[in-house]
Amino acid sequence: SPGILFQWQKLYARDGISRLKPQKKGRPVMTNTSSSSKPVEQMTEEELREELAYLRAENDVLKKLEALAQARKKKAKTRR
């Protein structure tokens, strides 16, 4: 349409050809970061305890999320 072409012309005139290339939209992808960068055999006892605490907390969060999802499904079924 003429409106889109006009916008493209403005972008090209202002910023050049690089501005016409598709831009990424939305939230950036989250990478799966590991709390430990060393192999388990090389970790100190304190590092192992910290990782264990982190993994337990992560597990608790995932369990709670699953319970909330189940409750929401159950509530949706009873409304029907």
User: Would 57 be classed as within a structural domain?
Assistant: yes
For residue 79, give Cα distances in angstroms to 18, 68, 73, 76: 52, 17, 10, 5
Give me the number of domains the chain comprises.
1
User: Would you say the C-alpha torsion 47, 52, 53, 59 has a positive or negative sign?
Assistant: positive
| Span 30-44, pLDDT tens digits | 776 665 578 888 999
User: Would 30 be classed as within a structural domain?
Assistant: no
User: Would 35 be classed as within a structural domain?
Assistant: no
Indicate whether this model's pTM tops 0.75: no
Q: Name all contacts of 46-54 with Cβ < 8 Å and 24+ positions apart.
A: none
| Span 3-56, pLDDT tens digits | 999 998 998 999 888 888 888 888 877 776 665 578 888 999 999 999 999 999
Does 76 have pLDDT greater than 60?
yes
- Residue 59 has what pLDDT? 97
Domain that holds residue 17: 4-22+40-79
